[in-house]
């Protein structure tokens, strides 16, 4: 997909951000972006150094946020040390305000239907499929049995059509969620309204919506700079990397990239980032 402007140099993206830091924001997906992908989703923590970089960044720019498919309570636990970082869970259906999880009023009535759906998935799908019931989102992970992909996708599509749900395909996972107007794009669009610089870091298909929103905003508003960073992976990574301004090779490399941003701020030790 074409980007709206000439290729961006990393040094230029950084200096544009430093020069308008009070109107800059950094937005991060969680899994596969600042955390590893593991077979057991409950065992995942941010990569070493990520939380510390987010804390520093939050002191330098206007806004730092996590935008994830994880429940907000999970994010709250993982980012308890950085209350200044905004947390958006379940694609924005949940946020954390003053330490309390807030669930979107439009999404809440879907809870009983989603609970039944999780029970149906456990009953209908082979035992190797990990059914993750996140209250308003059901994730069907086939990471331990990739051959089941077709069966999982067919089951999910049938249920989505029958119940009027949204499907989201991702890295060895299919997710079903209520048809409310929340995705990573709508969250970033709203968050970036008052910003002139916004960086988005992602690794998977759902992150493409946030990339699109940054591109659309640039087309409407020439003073706005969107910076798209893809975290490479052999699953869905190529799709996102093609549309990114910059690519890092693994979640473990994201803190290093942030060091090069942080180092460019006055009073911080300067480092140059290759590429
Ligand atoms: Mg991800």
Output the CA 267–ligand 1 centroid distance in Å.
Answer: 33
Contact yes or no for 69/140 (Cβ under 8 A): no
In terms of C-beta density within 10 A (0-12 exposed, 13-18 middle, 19 or more buried), how is residue 273 classed? middle
Q: What pLDDT shows up at residue 268?
A: 81
Report d(CA 102, CA 106) in Å as an integer: 12
In terms of C-beta density within 10 A (0-12 exposed, 13-18 middle, 19 or more buried), how is residue 165 classed? buried
**Torsion angle of C-alpha atoms 86, 219, 166, 128, degrees rounded to 10:** -70
Report d(CA 177, CA 164) in Å as an integer: 9
Report d(CA 42, CA 39) in Å as an integer: 9
Output the CA 241–ligand 1 centroid distance in Å.
Answer: 13
3-state helix, strand, coil in the chain (%, to 5): 40, 20, 40
Output the CA 266–ligand 1 centroid distance in Å.
Answer: 32
| Of 206, 173, 176, 5, the residue nearest 88 (C-alpha) | 206
Report d(CA 121, CA 118) in Å as an integer: 5
Output the CA 149–ligand 1 centroid distance in Å.
Answer: 18
Catalytic residue ranges: 29
Helix (H) / strand (E) element for 50: namely helix 50-60
Question: Per residue of the chain (275 residues), what is the pLDDT tens digit?
Answer: 444 577 999 999 999 999 999 999 999 999 999 999 999 999 999 999 999 999 999 999 999 999 999 999 999 999 999 999 999 999 999 999 988 999 999 999 999 999 999 999 999 999 999 999 999 999 999 999 999 999 999 999 999 999 999 999 999 999 999 999 899 999 999 999 999 999 999 999 999 999 999 999 999 999 999 999 999 999 988 989 999 999 999 999 999 999 999 999 998 865 544 43
Domains, the chain, in order of start with CATH, read 10-104+182-262 (3.40.50.1000), 108-177 (3.30.70.1020)
Contact yes or no for 135/159 (Cβ under 8 A): no
Output the CA 259–ligand 1 centroid distance in Å.
Answer: 21
Q: Is the dihedral of CA 248, 169, 186, 110 positive or negative?
A: negative
Q: What pLDDT shows up at residue 270?
A: 52
Quote the distance between the C-alpha of residue 64 and its chain's center.
12
Identify any residues that bridge with 228 across adjacent strands, giving them in sequence order.
200
């Amino acid at each position: 997909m074409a980007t709206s402007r000439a290729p961006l140099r990393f040094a230029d993206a950084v200096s544009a951000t430093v020069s308008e830091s009070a109107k800059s924001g950094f937005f991060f997906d969680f899994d596969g972006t600042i955390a590893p992908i593991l077979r057991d989703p409950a065992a995942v923590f941010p990569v070493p150094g990520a939380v510390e970089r987010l804390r520093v960044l939050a002191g330098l720019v206007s806004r730092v946020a996590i935008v994830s498919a994880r429940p907000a309570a999970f994010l709250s636990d993982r980012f308890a040390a950085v209350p200044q970082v905004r947390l958006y869970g379940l694609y924005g259906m949940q946020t954390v305000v003053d330490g309390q999880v807030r669930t979107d009023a439009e999404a809440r009535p879907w809870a009983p239907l989603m609970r039944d759906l999780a029970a149906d998935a456990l009953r209908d799908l082979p035992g190797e499929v990990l059914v993750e019931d996140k209250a308003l989102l059901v994730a069907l992970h086939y990471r331990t049995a990739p051959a089941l992909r077709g069966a999982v996708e067919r089951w999910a599509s049938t249920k989505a059509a029958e119940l009027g749900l949204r499907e989201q395909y991702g890295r060895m996972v299919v997710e079903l969620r209520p048809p409310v107007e929340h995705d990573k794009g709508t969250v970033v669009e709203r968050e970036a309204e008052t910003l002139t610089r916004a960086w988005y870091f992602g690794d998977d298909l759902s992150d493409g919506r946030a990339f699109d929103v940054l591109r659309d905003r640039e087309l409407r508003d020439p003073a706005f700079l969107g910076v798209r960073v893809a975290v490479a992976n052999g699953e869905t990574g190529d799709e996102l990397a093609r549309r990114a301004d910059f690519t890092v090779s693994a979640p473990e490399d994201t803190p290093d990239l942030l060091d090069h941003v942080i180092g460019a701020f006055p009073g911080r030790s300067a480092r140059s980032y290759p590429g």
